[in-house]
Amino acid sequence: MTSLERMNAEHAVRRLLSRDPSLWSDDPEVQARISDRLGWTDVGSCSLPAEGRARELARELVADDIADVVLLGMGGSSLAALTLASVFDPIVSGPRIHVVDTTSPTTVSRLMRDLDPATTAFFVSSKSGGTIEPNTLYVIFRAWADAELGDSAGRHFVAITDPGSSLEALAETDGFRATLLAPPDVGGRFSALTIFGLAPAACAGIDLEALLGRGAEAQRRCALQSPDNPAVQLAAFIADGHASGRDKLTMVTSPGLETFALWAEQLIAESTGKEGVGVIPVPELSPRTPTGYGDDRSVVVLRFAEDAQLAAWVPDERTRRPVFEIVFEDRYDLSSEFVRWEHATALVGFLLGINPFDEPNVAEAKAATLDVLEGRAEAPCPTLEADGVRMTFSEGVRSRDVATVPEAFEAALARLGKGGYFALLTYLPDDPTLISPLRASVPPVAATTGHATVLELGPRYLHSTGQLHKGGPETGVFVVITARDEPRIEVPGQSWTLADLIRSQAAGDFLTLAKHRRPVVWIELPDASPERVTQLAEALAEDALG
C-alpha cells in the first residue's frame, strides 16, 4: 500500500484536522500529551490574535527610534524569525533583525561593540521560559543595557513566551516593555505563524495581512480530502522515499531561500528522528546545481519562479532520483510553505509510526551540559594534540596510526557505512569568514565519499538535528569543532562564563553521542582565526579527496 493509499484508508487528513491523537498513538498518556500540541492546525486562531499586537509593538519601536532588534532564542523560538527576516530582507525596510541563537562570546562581543543600546530592542523568546541559552544571553545583555541606560533599560526588552512561564514572571519583575503570549497548545517547531514568528516579522516591515492571507489559503488546501492536498503530496513523497531507502531528504534552494531549509531541517529532524528511525534532512550547500548524490537521496527543490538555472536542472535530476519541486511566486509564499510543511510533517509521523510532537533525546544533551558546567561531570580529556590542535575520539574511532588532523578526519570517515551520513558540528562564531571555508568543503566531501554531509552550527543544532543524531538511525558519524580563544564574558549571577557554557555544550553533546555509541571526534582549535579554520577545511578536503 502506498503512502497516499494509507492516508486515504486511515482518514489521516480528517483525523489530523479534528485533532485526533489516536492517529499517532494508542497509549492514553501519549495521546493526552499530543492533544496539547495540535493548536497549529488552525492558522487563524494562532495568528490573528497575535497580528494586532505584533503591529502595535512594531509601531511603538519605530516611534522610539529603534534601529536594531536582537532576538534571543533557540530552535522553534528563533528559526522562523531567522527565516522570515532573511528571506524578506531585500524587499522590506524596518529595524535590522539579529537572531542570536548561539552562545558564542565572540558573537555577543561583536554585537555589544556594533550596537547602540539606546536604539536596540531585545526580544527574549522562549516557549518554556527555562531554556538556558536565551536566559543566559538575557542577563548578559540586560547588564549591558542597565549600565548604559539606567532605569529606562527595561523598556528595551520584550518577552515572547507561553502563559504562566517563568519568563512571563521575569518580564513582570524586571520591567519589560511588553510580554507577548503564544498559544500554549502549539509546540515550538510548529509555531512559525504564531507570535514567535509574527512579532519579529512585523518589526522587520513584513506585510502581515499578505503573509497570513497566504497561510490561510494554504490551510484551506491542506484540508482537502484528496490527492490534490499539497501537504499529502509532500508527506507521501517523503515517506515513500524513506520506505525505499531514500532517507536523506536533500533540500536544494534558490539563493535567498537558504534559511527556509534550516527551518524545515529542524521541523523534519526533531519530529521524525526517534525510536531508531528518522528522515535525515540535508540542506544543500553547493553554490548552484549539485552533483554526486547517492541512491539514498530524495530531493526537494525550493526555488523562485525566476530561477531559470535551477528550473533547468530539475528535469535532468528527475532521470536519476525522485524530485519534488516547490515554486515560490514571491516571498509571501513562505507562509504557505510553513503551513504545508507543518501538516506534511505530522502526516509523515503517522506514516512512520512515530509521535512527531515529542523530542525525547533533546533533554539528554541539556543535562550533560549542565553536569559539565556545574562540575558533576568532566569534559573528556584530549586523546592527542598536534600543532596546538587537540583531538578527542569516542570509543573505537581512533587507530594507533592517527596523529594529525587529516588522519583524524580519515578515521571518522572510515566509520561511514552504507547509507551513512557525516556531520560537522561547529561551535564557532556565525561569521562568514569562519564558516565559509567549512561550507565550501561540504559539497566536495559529499560528492567524493558518496555520503550525505551536513554542516551544523552549535548550539543551534542541539535544538534541531540534535534529536535525530541521538534518537534516529545509527548511521551518523560526527566531528565536533570548537576553539579555545573565546573572549571572557561574565554571566551575572553565575560562577561560569559564557565561554564555559559553549564549551560545556560541545562536551555534553560529545558525551551524549558517545553514550549512544555514535562515532564522534572532537577537534579543538587553539583559536578561531580564519587561517586556522581554513586549514581545518583543507585537511578535511585533503582526506576526502585522497
- Residue range 220-258, pLDDT digits in tens: 999 999 889 999 999 999 999 999 999 999 999 999 999
The answer to whether residues 223 and 326 belong to one domain is yes
Considering the domain architecture, whether residues 521 and 479 belong to the same structural domain is answered as yes
Residue 280 shares a structural domain with residue 180: no
Q: Return the biggest CA–CA distance within the chain.
A: 66
Same structural domain, 64 and 170: yes
pLDDT tens digit sequence for 430-469 = 899 899 999 999 999 999 999 999 999 999 999 999 999 9
Residue type, 311: A
Q: In this model, does residue 545 exceed pLDDT 80?
A: no
Q: Is the pLDDT of residue 22 over 60?
A: yes
Judge whether 212 lies within some domain: no
Whether residue 211 is contained in a domain is answered as: no
User: Among residues 206, 235, 260, which one ends one of the domains?
Assistant: 206
> Do 374 and 406 share a domain, yes or no?
yes
Is residue 196 situated within a structural domain? Answer: yes
Question: Which residue pairs from 111-116 have beta carbons closer than 8 angstroms and sit at least 24 positions apart in sequence?
Answer: 111/70, 112/141, 112/144, 115/68, 115/70, 116/67, 116/68
Three cell numbers at 417? 557505512
Kindly report the average pLDDT of the chain as a whole number: 95
Residue 410 lies in a domain: yes
- Domain-embedded: residue 392: yes
Distance from C-alpha of 504 to C-alpha of 510, rounded to nearest angstrom: 10
Whether residue 492 has a cis bond before it, omega within 30° of 0: no
Within-domain flag for 357: no
Confidence of residue 543 (pLDDT cuts 50, 70, 90): low
Distance CA(365)–CA(506), nearest Å, equals: 9
Residue 376, pLDDT above cutoff 60: yes
Residue 492 and residue 143 in contact, taking contact as beta carbons nearer than 8 Å: yes
Q: Which range, of 52-56, 383-387, 456-460, 537-541, averages the lowest pLDDT?
A: 537-541
Residue 263: domain span: 3-36+218-352
| Predicted pLDDT of residue 399 | 78
User: Would you state the cell numbers that stand for residue 330, as one nine-digit string?
Assistant: 514571491
Report the pLDDT value the prediction gives residue 292, as an integer from 0 to 100.
80
* Average of per-residue pLDDT across 164-169: 98
The stretch 207-214 carries a mean pLDDT of 96
Are 63 and 98 found together in one domain? yes
Q: How far lies 5's CA from each of 8, 19, 176, 227, 509, in Å?
A: 5, 21, 52, 10, 40
- The 10s digit of each residue's pLDDT in 470-505 is 999 999 999 999 999 889 999 999 999 999 999 999
Beta strands in 139-231 (DSSP E): 157-161, 178-181
In this prediction, residues 323-334 reach a mean pLDDT of 98
Last residue of a domain, one of 352, 386, 401: 352
Regarding whether 259 and 193 lie in a shared domain, the answer is no
Q: What is the pLDDT of residue 21?
A: 98
- In this structure, the answer to whether residues 165 and 115 fall within a common structural domain is yes
Asked which of 206, 239, 266 is the last residue of a domain, the reply is: 206
Can you list the pairs that 397-405 forms with residues at least 24 positions away whose Cβ atoms lie under 8 Å?
A: 397/519, 397/520, 397/521, 398/521, 404/539, 405/523, 405/535, 405/536, 405/539
From start to end of 133-184, where are the E strands? 157-161, 178-181
One domain, residues 290 and 341: yes
Per the CB < 8 A criterion, the answer to whether 164 and 13 are in contact is no
- 105 and 249 share one domain: no
Task: Convert the pLDDT of each residue in 276-314 to its tens digit.
Answer: 999 999 999 987 788 889 999 999 999 999 999 999 999
Residue 158 lies in a domain: yes
Lowest mean pLDDT segment, chosen from 93-97, 114-118, 269-273: 93-97
Q: 269 with 394, same domain? A: no
> Is the confidence at residue 546, as pLDDT, over 60?
no
Task: Name residue, grid cell 536582537.
Answer: 70
Q: Does one domain contain both 177 and 154?
A: yes
From CA 100, how far away is CA 180, in angstroms rounded? 19
**Domain annotation covers residue 389:** yes
The answer to which of 219-223, 353-357, 541-545 has the lowest mean pLDDT is 541-545
Question: Which burial class, exposed, middle or buried, applies to 376 when counting CB atoms under 10 A from its CB (0-12, 13-18, 19+)?
Answer: exposed
In this structure, what CATH number is given to the domain that contains residue 505? 3.40.50.10490
Domain count, the chain: 3
Residue 17 clears pLDDT 60, i.e. is over it: yes
